[in-house]
Amino acid sequence: MEQKRTVPMSQQDTNDEIDLFELWEGLVQEKFIILISFFVVVILAAVYAFFATPVYQSSVFVQPPKKQEMIWLNGLNQIIPNSTVYTSESVFQAFQVQLKSRRTLKQVFDENNLDVVYVPNIKSLIAAERLVAKNKAFEQFFLSFSVQSVDKDNHALGVSAQFFAPLTGDKVIHVLNSIVMQAEINTVNYLVEQIQSEIKGRQNLIQKKITGAKQIEPQRRLDQIVRLEEAILVTKQLGIIKPLFSGGYVLELNNIETAIGHKNLSLYLLGSELLEAEKKVLENRTNSEAFIDKFRDWQETLLLLKSLKIEPEKFGVVQVDQAADFAEKVKPKKALILAVGGVLGLMLGVFIALIRRAVKNRKALQLSSI
């Protein structure tokens, strides 16, 4: 039987081992390639670091309005009973909604022409393309703005807002402060609209009560006359001319209005003289307003509502704890970019050197085997 020829284990291990000294020697021989790769990548990184458009970031801190800024809003509930109660927390919550809203950010975005920042050539585009580009630019701007609570467990400490953009530091500060100011304006306008709507609704309700009472009062007067006529008929049949006593209740002209509306009291006890006199007065009455319950109170409230002047300058919706006054450059970080560029340059150089050495070794083996 033919025996298989085997290679000793030690020889196999020797062939499979990597000679680190030979590897190092090869890298030394390719040192120029490594150095060239290193410097090329570092130079490219330096070009980017020193010529890339810098990005600045700034922050602003805001808190709920002070109690003295809520005096006017709190007094509104005394003027308009059962109206919405505005608190420092509810007003500040409304401010936060406006601060985060796309409407507020869009106003600042358009006011400062920030579409050019994100799309430099936007003015050279046709109308349709410009609209698409502007919408994309606004999305970038929207994502560059953020709001977060200073302390999640204590909302009274307020919130902070951050904004970063490829603008100068002063421009970033201006835009961030403009966002806060616009949110404050929008919140005040929102509250004014709410108050005006509530006042208008209350005016309409009271006016309807007044109109309804004026319309129904003549019918009530006729009802009283019908009851008096019936009572007069009874008094004449019983021969009662003067008022009588009933259970200690003295029936006289001073309480005849109460008597007419009293279910358990017989009007005929007043006597025919009083009843006929009251009937004649009711028939000749031309002004019913004085006899409508709460009519003058409604008129007074309506007059007060119409004369109420909303003074938004007297109530605050936010207090700026720290305005944006400093912008930090967040991009590019030159030192970090150069360090990363150096590491990547060395890695690229070593990789190229290893490839070159492998190619040279393969060619040498092929030549030796010929």
Task: Report the range of poorest mean pLDDT among 10-19, 35-44, 71-80, 147-156.
Answer: 10-19
Looking at 307, 336, 356, the residue that finishes a domain is 307
Do 64 and 142 share a domain, yes or no?
Answer: yes
Average pLDDT rounded to a whole number, residues 348-363: 80
Do 131 and 276 share a domain, yes or no?
Answer: no
Do 98 and 119 share a domain, yes or no?
Answer: yes
Query: Does the pLDDT value for residue 258 go beyond 60?
Result: no
Query: Does the pLDDT value for residue 333 go beyond 80?
Result: no
Looking at 289, 307, 325, the residue that finishes a domain is 307
**What band does 114 get if pLDDT is binned at 50, 70 and 90?**
very high
Query: Does the pLDDT value for residue 13 go beyond 50?
Result: no
Do 193 and 220 share a domain, yes or no?
Answer: no
Do 290 and 254 share a domain, yes or no?
Answer: yes
Question: How many percent of the chain have pLDDT more than 90?
Answer: 27
**Is 2 domain-assigned?**
no
**Is 8 domain-assigned?**
no
**What band does 234 get if pLDDT is binned at 50, 70 and 90?**
confident
**Residue ranges making up the domain that contains 301:** 207-307
- Residue 245's DSSP bridge partners are 250
Average pLDDT rounded to a whole number, residues 281-291: 85
**Is 232 domain-assigned?**
yes
**Is 16 domain-assigned?**
no
**Is 4 domain-assigned?**
no
Instruction: Output 17 or 180, whichever has higher pLDDT.
Output: 180
| Domains in the chain, number | 2
Average pLDDT rounded to a whole number, residues 131-157: 88
Average pLDDT rounded to a whole number, residues 312-316: 84
Do 114 and 241 share a domain, yes or no?
Answer: no
- Residue 148's DSSP bridge partners are 160
Task: Report the range of poorest mean pLDDT among 78-87, 118-127, 275-284.
Answer: 78-87
Q: According to the model, what pLDDT value does residue 61 have?
A: 95
Do 68 and 85 share a domain, yes or no?
Answer: yes
Q: According to the model, what pLDDT value does residue 252 have?
A: 46
Do 136 and 110 share a domain, yes or no?
Answer: yes
Give the domain CATH number at 54: 3.30.1890.10
Average pLDDT rounded to a whole number, residues 69-83: 77
Q: According to the model, what pLDDT value does residue 351 have?
A: 86
* Residue 121 tokens, joined: 């050539």
Mean residue pLDDT across the chain: 82
Query: Does the pLDDT value for residue 229 go beyond 50?
Result: yes
Do 349 and 243 share a domain, yes or no?
Answer: no
Do 39 and 119 share a domain, yes or no?
Answer: yes
**Is 1 domain-assigned?**
no
Average pLDDT rounded to a whole number, residues 88-93: 90
Q: According to the model, what pLDDT value does residue 19 have?
A: 66
Q: According to the model, what pLDDT value does residue 127 have?
A: 85
Task: Write 44-52 long-range contacts (CB < 8 A, 24+).
Answer: 44/341, 45/337, 45/338, 45/340, 45/341, 45/342, 45/344, 46/337, 46/338, 46/341, 48/332, 48/337, 49/332, 49/333, 49/334, 49/337, 49/338, 50/334, 52/331, 52/332
Give the domain CATH number at 295: 1.10.287
Q: According to the model, what pLDDT value does residue 14 have?
A: 46
**Is 6 domain-assigned?**
no
Do 163 and 42 share a domain, yes or no?
Answer: yes
Query: Does the pLDDT value for residue 4 go beyond 50?
Result: no
Do 162 and 247 share a domain, yes or no?
Answer: no
Average pLDDT rounded to a whole number, residues 37-54: 79
Average pLDDT rounded to a whole number, residues 235-250: 71
> CA nearest 35: which of 344, 349, 343?
349
Looking at 307, 328, 349, the residue that finishes a domain is 307
